[in-house]
Structure 1
Amino acid sequence: MNFELVLLEHRNKLCKSCCVPLTASCNRSTIRLPCFRYPFDMENNLCVVLHSKGDLRLEERPIPEPGPNDVLLRMHSVGICGSDVHYWQHGRIADFVVKQPMVLGHEAAGRVVKVGSAVKHLNVGDRVAVEPGVPREMDDFLKSGRYNLSPTIFFCATPPDDGNLCQYYKHCANFCYKLPDNVTFEEGALIEPLSVGIHACRRAGVTLGTTVLICGSGPIGLVCLLVAKAMGASVVVITDLSSERLKMAQEVGADFPLLVTREDSAQDVAQRVAGRLGKQPHVTIECTGAESSIQTAIYATRSGGVVVLVGLGAEMASVPLVNAAVREVDIRGVFRYCNTWPMAIAMLASGKVNVKPLVTHRFPLEEAAQAFETTRQGHGVKVMLKCDQSDQTP
């Protein structure tokens, strides 16, 4: 599949004489990006826009005007999520289909540059982390505190809603959270994946003394590891196909990294987990979505324990349901998160959780194509795009 990253010119700002395409190649794509002579300012809003499957463009859009309950943010750091890459490569995730151009990005932090008339808790200059899911109506899910399940929720970079991988972005002020001085923009952006870990560990009931198995040591597996440890898990086993990712997992706190292969049976992996722990874990958090890994999660978890499904795979999966039923192993789903940003900020500000090692690559916004290709190829852990040309610090 080929793709071309295209800049739609803002004719008053783009220098005609230096618009010679720079070319980078990989085994699946060719990238063309013009060079720039002038910095962007408040008259420009550079955005990473997905038009259709494989058609990723860098283009300028109008700077939005905040409504009474909104704030306008100058974006600073935005992480690339696996879902962003999946939309780029496939044009859809399950029933969410890209039918019109959509700005990508939902792991974000920025600075307030304009405040709506009804906003009281934020001021111009405040540094904030963005919670990308905003309820649109006062339905039963919002009333019960589970607004993530609302069928009408706005969510950044989920069709048809635009994300925040851009220079300027408007968002509901109530879902922007002020960052303490000792929490960086990048940490603020990583609150989004960290929130998945918090929600998963809450759903699992992780507490002091809990023994935990985490299947998959990608970015989500790693944040689940960090949160489980912070919530009091006594021992964590984590599995993966990659020894490099397991090395990172061990560096951030895993007690027993366990290398597995595609040929291993689910029962064999479950036995190896029990061998490492000396017993079966109370909780398993499955972060891959792979059918064999879900099977492992059920077989590995002790009777009366909990399996939490975080990873999203095929719609239908063959799993040992009777095994879970007769051993009263609860199987619980996870869909995004809710009510997690305050806890995440407290974890980061107190030093109980350190997400800084997860950022392995940084690119300026103008190099979005290279950043997406780096993520697609599975290099490193978290790729961060820096949206503010005047401030490329973490």
Structure 2
Amino acid sequence: MASNLSFVLNKPNDVSFEERPVPKLASPHDVLVAINYTGICGSDVHYWVHGAIGHFIVKDPMVLGHESAGTIVEVGSGVTTLAVGDRVALEPGYPCRRCGPCLGGHYNLCPDMVFAATPPYDGTLTGFWTAPADFCYKLPEAVSLQEGALIEPLAVAVHIAKQARITPGDTVVVMGAGPVGLLVGAVAKAFGASKVVQVDIVQSKLDFAKSFAATHTYLSQRVSPEENARNIIAAADLGAGADAVIDASGAEPSIQASLHVVRVGGRYVQGGMGKNDITFPIMALCIKEVTASGSFRYGSGDYKLAIELVNQGKVDVKRLVDGVVAFKDAEEAFTKVKEGKVIKILIAGPNEKLDEKEKLDTTVDPAKVAETEAAAKEGGGGCC
């Protein structure tokens, strides 16, 4: 089958399916990949609803999707590391390789990054995708294509955990129990953290977190950030505070509480994205001499480590998948994610034959969607 059917965002809340030409290799170092599975990320939903994220604005029709795995169907003449038939996880962005950040080992900060489903570049919810071979990672036999589609968010979590410099015996608090927050907790545990405390405003998310990787959970209350911080420390017996605190929510109350949870001399990492400007407890940051870091996407070695964590069974990404939908049901899948009832949905590629047993019920509850939107406007909790 050779359909290049694509899921296209025309403008906010307006999507369509469009049959596009199969792309040609632009370089002898590129490969052509048949997309098997794609996950839905919060950024995809945000573009779908709002048409923009920060200064990235959808001005022309754009194919959505960037969490994908697929099968190599063609290789350029200069490719030696991959062959037709190889199953790969796709790193959906590639840099210029020549600028200061790239040459300094921080290619994720490249100002000329080409990133899937980030205007003006098309994404991976399509039949075929071309990419540089060195940004396609061959999957070990033990790692499925569905797991391969989840390497992207896991690589985000790996990068965050590296930024937090988590070492064996550390105590770690993760604000937010969405997909990335859950994966950060799992990576922290794989890195040897003695305690992983997951915090959220939704009890069902915390129940899952406790069964996934968290050693402790805390349901955030409508109290001051200082009081929530004291409660977290008491609930998990953190003594003077956590060695590392990671915000994976982007919510202002969570960020404020984080600086009161971290111990003197501890580390704080901002992994979730929220409002451009917030009220920040700068005195807590200074007096404790906290090391604070931002975290953006992933960098050198993060994809390879993410694949190895799955291959060794240290992070069970399959447990995050609530189901798989056929490509024709992509819009319903987006609505289901917006509804807030699922952790991860995978969309099968247009050429992928989907087992009936795998299919997810895409019936949506409009009342639940409205409830989730109202909670998001309040700015409490949330997921990456």
Instruction: Give me the TM-score of the superposition, normalised by structure 1.
Output: 0.88
- Aligned counterpart, 1:284: 245
- Aligned counterpart, 2:307: 345
Q: Are the aligned partners of 2:9 and 2:15 in contact in 1 as well (CA < 8 Å)?
A: yes
1:98-113 correspondence to structure 2 within 5 Å: 98-113=58-73
Unmatched runs of 5 consecutive residues or more in structure 2? 359-384
Note the C-alpha offset of 1:148. Answer: 0.3
| Alignment equivalent of 2:110, drawn from 145, 150, 156 | 150
Note the C-alpha offset of 1:390. Answer: 4.1
- Aligned counterpart, 1:37: none
Structure 1 CA distance for aligned equivalents of residues 235 and 312 of structure 2? 31
Matched, 1:324 2:276: no
| Alignment equivalent of 1:139, drawn from 93, 96, 99 | 99
Task: Report the 3-state secondary structure (helix = DSSP H, G, I; strand = E; otherwise coil) of the residue aligned with 1:332.
Answer: strand
Q: Are the aligned partners of 1:76 and 1:391 in contact in 2 as well (CA < 8 Å)?
A: no
- Which amino acid counterpart does residue 18 of structure 2 have in structure 1? E
Structure 2 CA distance for aligned equivalents of residues 297 and 159 of structure 1? 32
| Alignment equivalent of 1:364, drawn from 312, 319, 326 | 326
1:181-220 correspondence to structure 2 within 5 Å: 181-220=141-180
Structure 2 CA distance for aligned equivalents of residues 356 and 163 of structure 1? 23
Task: Report the 3-state secondary structure (helix = DSSP H, G, I; strand = E; otherwise coil) of the residue aligned with 1:110.
Answer: strand
Q: How well do the aligned residues superpose, as a CA RMSD in angstroms?
A: 1.1
- Aligned counterpart, 2:342: 380
- Aligned counterpart, 1:54: 13
Query: Whose RCO is larger (CA < 8 A, sep 6+)?
Result: 2
- Which amino acid counterpart does residue 317 of structure 2 have in structure 1? V
Matched, 1:272 2:272: no
| Alignment equivalent of 2:271, drawn from 310, 320, 326 | 310
Structure 2 CA distance for aligned equivalents of residues 392 and 73 of structure 1? 18
Q: Are the aligned partners of 1:46 and 1:60 in contact in 2 as well (CA < 8 Å)?
A: yes
- Which amino acid counterpart does residue 99 of structure 1 have in structure 2? K
Structure 1 CA distance for aligned equivalents of residues 147 and 122 of structure 2? 22
Unmatched runs of 5 consecutive residues or more in structure 1? 1-40
Task: Report the 3-state secondary structure (helix = DSSP H, G, I; strand = E; otherwise coil) of the residue aligned with 2:137.
Answer: strand
Q: Are the aligned partners of 1:75 and 1:108 in contact in 2 as well (CA < 8 Å)?
A: yes
C-alpha distance after superposition, 1:89-123 (max 9, x if no partner):
00000000001111111100000001111111110
Structure 2 CA distance for aligned equivalents of residues 269 and 132 of structure 1? 37
Note the C-alpha offset of 1:277. Answer: 2.7
| Alignment equivalent of 2:216, drawn from 256, 274, 291 | 256
Task: Report the 3-state secondary structure (helix = DSSP H, G, I; strand = E; otherwise coil) of the residue aligned with 2:187.
Answer: helix
Structure 2 CA distance for aligned equivalents of residues 305 and 337 of structure 1? 22
Instruction: Give me the TM-score of the superposition, normalised by structure 2.
Output: 0.90
Task: Report the 3-state secondary structure (helix = DSSP H, G, I; strand = E; otherwise coil) of the residue aligned with 2:264.
Answer: coil
- Aligned counterpart, 2:380: none
Q: Are the aligned partners of 2:127 and 2:351 in contact in 1 as well (CA < 8 Å)?
A: no
| Alignment equivalent of 2:23, drawn from 64, 79, 101 | 64
- Aligned counterpart, 1:231: 191
Structure 2 CA distance for aligned equivalents of residues 220 and 390 of structure 1? 26
Structure number with bigger Rg: 1
| Alignment equivalent of 1:87, drawn from 27, 33, 47 | 47
C-alpha distance after superposition, 1:163-199 (max 9, x if no partner):
1111111111110000001001111111100011100
Identity %: 41
Cα distance change on mapping 1:65 and 1:259 into 2, 3 Å? same
Structure 1 CA distance for aligned equivalents of residues 156 and 261 of structure 2? 22
What number of residue pairs does the alignment pair up?
A: 352
